């Protein structure tokens, strides 16, 4: 397998800063904004976006940030290895608020479909938006991201690897070419 780095730490930082500005512009400020990360790396990205919004806003407005586990809402549980659910933390009511779901890689759209199902168990947001660090294409469902750090068209035989300092100890995004007999990941 061969991997090539497509985003370095500085590229990731710039993408998240841009996404933060786009979220604020779209929402016309931080009011009634809830940012929910999808475990594992989506939670880290959501926390970074919330911190970036605090830095951007003149009064340092706090943004509600949390996590939304989608494990039990997935439609592919029978075809994948056993998954351990992560804690879900939805900060307060989401009713009538703008919720931004955050994930690291958007691929088939099935994780986001599961997230929308999970979100419905927590209330009825006014609007739901999607922010992703990487959109690699290959959608199986009619789902698109509202905020994208980097579009990385990829082959089905490639895997996008997102490494973040908090979870992996280093920080970069790479594309890995899988062997024809190997599996395909994120």
pLDDT above 90: residue 103: yes
For residue 138, the model assigns a pLDDT of 93
pLDDT above 60: residue 185: no
Q: How far apart are CA 85 and CA 71, in angstroms?
A: 6
User: DSSP 3-state assignment of 147?
Assistant: strand
- The verdict on whether omega for the bond into residue 40 sits within 30 degrees of 0, i.e. cis, is yes
Q: How far apart are CA 68 and CA 81, in angstroms?
A: 20
For residue 107, the model assigns a pLDDT of 95
Higher pLDDT, 24 or 75: 24
Q: How far apart are CA 150 and CA 6, in angstroms?
A: 10
pLDDT digits (tens, 9 = 90+) for 118-131: 999 999 999 999 99
| Residues, the chain | 186
Residue 186 belongs to some domain of the structure? no
User: In total, how many domains does the chain have?
Assistant: 1
Residue 79 belongs to some domain of the structure? no
For residue 186, the model assigns a pLDDT of 58
Residue 174 belongs to some domain of the structure? no
53: CB partners within 8 A, 6+ apart: 20, 23, 24, 30, 33, 61, 63
Residue 45, domain extent: 10-24+31-74+87-155
pLDDT above 70: residue 101: yes
Q: How far apart are CA 152 and CA 147, in angstroms?
A: 14
Q: How far apart are CA 54 and CA 58, in angstroms?
A: 8
Residue 123 belongs to some domain of the structure? yes
pLDDT above 80: residue 76: no
Residue 138 belongs to some domain of the structure? yes
For residue 178, the model assigns a pLDDT of 81
Residue 180 belongs to some domain of the structure? no
Can you give the pTM of this predicted structure? Answer: 0.92
With bands split at pLDDT 50, 70 and 90, how would you rate the model's confidence at 86?
A: confident
Q: How far apart are CA 63 and CA 52, in angstroms?
A: 10
Query: Is the torsion defined by CA of 8, 112, 35, 149 positive or negative?
Result: positive
- The runs of H, that is alpha helices, within the chain are 9-27, 41-56, 110-120, 165-168
pLDDT digits (tens, 9 = 90+) for 118-176: 999 999 999 999 999 999 999 999 999 999 999 999 998 999 999 999 999 999 999 99
Q: At 135, which CATH number?
A: 3.40.50.2020
For residue 2, the model assigns a pLDDT of 87
Residue 117 belongs to some domain of the structure? yes
For residue 84, the model assigns a pLDDT of 75
Residue 3 belongs to some domain of the structure? no
pLDDT digits (tens, 9 = 90+) for 2-52: 899 999 999 999 999 999 999 999 999 999 999 999 999 999 999 999 999
Instruction: Report the side by side order of strands in the sheet with 158-163.
Output: 2-8, 172-177, 158-163
């Amino acid at each position: 397998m061969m991997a090539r780095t497509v985003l370095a730490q500085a590229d990731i930082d710039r993408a998240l800063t841009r996404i933060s500005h786009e979220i604020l512009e779209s929402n016309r400020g931080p009011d009634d904004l809830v940012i929910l990360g999808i475990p594992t790396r989506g939670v880290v990205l959501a926390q970074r976006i919330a911190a970036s919004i605090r830095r951007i806003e003149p009064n340092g407005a706090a943004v509600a940030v949390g996590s939304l586990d989608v494990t039990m809402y997935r439609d592919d549980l029978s075809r994948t290895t056993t998954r351990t659910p992560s804690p879900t933390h939805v900060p307060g009511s989401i009713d009538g608020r703008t919720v931004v779901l955050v994930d690291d890689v958007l691929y088939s759209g099935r994780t986001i479909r599961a997230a929308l199902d999970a979100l419905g168990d927590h209330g009825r947001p006014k609007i739901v938006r999607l922010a992703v660090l990487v959109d690699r294409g290959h959608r199986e469902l009619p789902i698109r991201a509202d905020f994208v750090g980097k579009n990385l068209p990829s082959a089905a035989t490639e895997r996008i690897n997102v490494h973040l300092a908090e979870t992996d100890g280093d920080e970069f995004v790479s594309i890995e070419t899988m062997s024809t007999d190997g599996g395909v990941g994120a």
